[in-house]
């Protein structure tokens, strides 16, 4: 029987063989081994891209290349939804530059873990098990792992719907104030995205100060900032359970309750401290003073829109502002700070310890010890970053401690309120503040999520011994 000579057949090539396949393999390995590291790399890559775009001559009004430290600072401030600026957003940047900033705000507002998950979906077209666990934990959602991809799409659509609604209202108001059609649309869209993402960037050279008595502008900005500060887990929880308190998860209850308390207490204290200050609200009527106090309390916790010069605040008011900025908003939100649930868990632990309870309980639920450890880690890490940042900025700028501390906390908490120190700082100071914005936006979220998912299995325990505390 004659044997047929085998003919050479090329091996079937893997679809998409080439650089894209290598990128897919890299993302797959990184997503499987360390989703938190993937989140950090994705966030850094986004900042680098926007830095390059803002460095282009087309981005600056004078047609010149923007210095690296200014472009990097602005890109980080936009992607980290901070709002601190070293150049005038209205005067320095062209329409293209402002559009790049706005796009950075929208992308950064989705959050580091969402960006990493979307990167994995775009490149690998799938999410690994650990990536799904991280994304599910970040959104505090009890959906099945197979629904996490759909959940991420809902997050994006929710952002677009809320920002679109705010833009319609603001655009109508700007039209009523006499602005041209395209100018009104641009300002409405810019302010809506900036407000919901708690960024605080403004396309006007004098910010929102000219609208200090215009409730059609202030109310949408305040509502957008407050809703954005609650976080996507709360928005999704309200979307599923409505306004039925008993149906809310513990996270939704604590976030809304503590946020409302901080807004109310902050309004009362801010208004009381500045009531007779002639440099801020001392010469206004009672209604205007109340409006300014409530607006300042909401914006101080993360958004950064301001109606008064921060340098004119009293010393006690500035200390209150530091505390509110450090507290921040809700977890997995566009707000910064150490997050309100972190404060709630630590406060409940203190109450339980004072009562002699072995468990930390609230609303018929027991908070696990692991959550308390994460809360302590976030607070200590945040305080350490503020301490180191203040030390470096004091050495670089030689400014007073209260002014340095205000700027450092604003950068770490991604708030955006400024005493002007950012613009006055040399390049070294700008790099320090940039690092604070990135670590403040990236560090606490990624740390909390990574610690919540990753647990080591121990086969033994050492004998317990209680040291003296306090």
Tokens of 273: 């401290």
Q: Name the pTM for this structure.
A: 0.86
Separation between Cα atoms, residue 294 and residue 214, nearest integer Å = 14
Please give the helix or strand (H or E) that residue 365 lies within, else none. strand 365-367
Tokens of 288: 């205007």
Is the Cβ–Cβ distance between 70 and 87 less than 8 Å?
yes
Domain ranges of the chain: 20-453
Tokens of 385: 């970053």
Residue whose structure tokens are 């215009």: 214
Is the Cβ–Cβ distance between 220 and 208 less than 8 Å?
no
Mention every residue, 6+ apart, whose C-beta is less than 8 A from residue 466: none
- The sign of the torsion formed by the CA atoms of 333, 337, 340, 344 equals positive
Q: How high is the pLDDT of residue 141?
A: 47
In order along its 470 residues, the chain shows pLDDT tens digits of 455 545 545 544 444 445 555 555 555 555 555 556 666 777 888 899 999 999 999 999 999 999 999 999 999 999 999 999 999 999 999 999 999 999 999 888 876 555 555 544 444 445 554 455 555 555 554 444 444 556 667 777 888 899 999 999 999 999 999 999 999 999 999 999 999 999 989 999 888 999 998 999 999 999 999 999 998 888 888 888 888 888 898 999 999 999 999 999 999 999 999 999 999 999 999 999 999 999 999 999 889 899 999 999 999 999 999 999 999 998 878 888 999 999 999 999 999 999 988 899 999 999 998 889 888 988 998 999 999 999 999 999 999 999 999 999 999 999 999 999 999 999 999 999 999 999 888 765 565 555 454 555 667 778 888 788 76
DSSP 242: T
Is the Cβ–Cβ distance between 24 and 123 less than 8 Å?
yes
Separation between Cα atoms, residue 122 and residue 31, nearest integer Å = 13
Separation between Cα atoms, residue 299 and residue 287, nearest integer Å = 18
Separation between Cα atoms, residue 410 and residue 173, nearest integer Å = 30
- By three-state DSSP, how is residue 367 classified? strand
382-387: Cβ within 8 A, 24+ apart: 382/326, 382/337, 382/338, 382/412, 382/440, 382/444, 385/412, 385/436, 385/439, 385/440, 385/443, 386/326, 386/412
| Cα radius of gyration rounded to whole Å, the chain | 24
């Amino acid at each position: 029987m004659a044997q047929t000579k085998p003919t050479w057949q090329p091996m079937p090539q893997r679809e998409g063989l080439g650089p894209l396949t290598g990128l897919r393999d890299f993302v797959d390995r990184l997503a499987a081994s360390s989703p938190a590291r993937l989140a950090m790399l994705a966030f850094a890559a986004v900042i680098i891209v926007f830095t390059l775009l803002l460095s282009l001559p087309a981005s600056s009004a004078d047609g010149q290349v923007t210095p690296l430290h200014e472009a990097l600072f602005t890109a980080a401030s936009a992607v980290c939804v901070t709002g601190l600026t070293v150049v005038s957003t209205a005067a320095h940047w062209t329409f293209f530059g402002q559009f790049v900033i706005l796009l950075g705000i929208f992308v950064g507002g989705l959050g580091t873990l969402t960006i990493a998950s979307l990167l994995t979906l775009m490149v690998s077209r799938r999410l690994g098990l650990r990536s799904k666990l991280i994304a599910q934990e970040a959104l505090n959602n009890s959906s099945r792992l197979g629904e996490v991809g759909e959940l991420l799409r809902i997050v994006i659509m929710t952002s677009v719907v809320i920002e679109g609604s705010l833009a319609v209202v603001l655009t109508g108001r700007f039209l009523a104030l006499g602005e041209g059609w395209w100018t009104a649309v641009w300002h409405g869209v810019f302010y809506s995205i900036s407000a919901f993402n708690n960024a605080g960037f403004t396309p006007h050279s004098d910010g929102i100060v000219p609208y200090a008595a215009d409730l059609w502008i202030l109310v949408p900005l305040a509502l957008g900032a407050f809703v954005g500060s609650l976080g996507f887990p709360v928005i999704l929880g309200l979307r599923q359970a409505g306004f039925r308190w008993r149906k809310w998860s513990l996270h939704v209850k604590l976030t809304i309750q503590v946020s409302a308390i901080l807004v109310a207490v902050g309004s009362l204290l801010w208004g009381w401290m500045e009531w007779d200050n002639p440099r801020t609200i001392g010469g206004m009527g009672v209604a205007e003073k109340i409006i300014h106090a409530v607006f300042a309390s909401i914006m101080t916790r993360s958004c950064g829109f301001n109606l008064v010069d921060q340098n004119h605040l009293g010393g006690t008011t500035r200390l209150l502002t530091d505390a509110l900025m450090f507290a921040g908003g809700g977890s997995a939100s566009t707000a910064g700070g150490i997050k309100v649930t972190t404060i709630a868990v630590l406060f409940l632990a203190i109450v339980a310890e004072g009562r002699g309870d072995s468990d930390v309980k609230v609303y018929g639920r027991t908070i696990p010890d692991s959550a308390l450890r994460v809360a302590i880690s976030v607070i200590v890490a945040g305080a350490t970053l503020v301490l180191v940042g203040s030390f470096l900025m004091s050495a670089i700028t030689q400014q007073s401690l209260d002014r340095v501390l205000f700027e450092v906390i604003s950068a770490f908490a991604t708030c955006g309120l400024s005493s002007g120190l950012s613009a006055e700082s040399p390049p070294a100071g700008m790099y320090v503040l940039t690092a604070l914005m990135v670590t403040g936006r990236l560090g606490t979220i990624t740390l909390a999520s990574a610690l919540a998912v990753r647990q080591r299995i121990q086969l033994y325990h050492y004998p317990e011994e209680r040291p003296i505390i306090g």
